[in-house]
Amino acid sequence: MVIHDPPYNTLIDQAYQLSKDFKPVIRGGEVLRAHVGSRSVRALIEEYSPLIGMHGHIHEAPGIDYIKSNGGAKVPVINAGSEYSEGVLRMVYLIIEDNKLKNYFLLRG
């Protein structure tokens, strides 16, 4: 399943939290993050249990997480992230065997 928006409440949907005047919210020297993904995308993954979810949109949240589908399968959801403004290309190399994600590599160049 390839959908630009990431599923809600995952490691790959966390964006920097902003105040009402669009400044980063900082506590203890750290910029706070908030879940900003799509609840609808999460519901689709839970219902249809795709092999993998490929997502983007939240450039500062690269990585992988897993969503448990209604059928009990753990569906990997992946965001390569992006640093296009710095001229850095991020990508994910997937190894799929027997209709399952065997391994993955987050790469940048």
Q: In this predicted model, what pLDDT tens digit does every residue of 16-26 receive, in sequence order?
A: 999 999 999 99
User: Is residue 10 very low, low, confident or very high in pLDDT (cuts 50, 70, 90)?
Assistant: very high
Token pair listed for 92: 């994910």
Residue 55 reports pLDDT greater than 90:
yes
Structural domain total, the chain: 1
Does residue 22 belong to any structural domain of this protein? no
Does residue 85 belong to any structural domain of this protein? yes
Alpha helix positions (H), the chain: 39-48
Q: Which of 53, 52, 38, 49 is nearest to 8 (CA)?
A: 38
Does residue 29 belong to any structural domain of this protein? no
Does residue 68 belong to any structural domain of this protein? yes
User: Is residue 54 very low, low, confident or very high in pLDDT (cuts 50, 70, 90)?
Assistant: very high
Does residue 18 belong to any structural domain of this protein? no
Tell me the pLDDT tens digit for each residue of 71-99: 999 999 999 988 777 888 889 999 999 99
CB-based contact 99:78 (threshold 8 Å): no
Residue 89 structural domain: 37-108
User: Is residue 33 very low, low, confident or very high in pLDDT (cuts 50, 70, 90)?
Assistant: very high
* Distance, CA of 99 to CA of 16 (rounded, Å): 35
Does residue 23 belong to any structural domain of this protein? no
Does residue 73 belong to any structural domain of this protein? yes
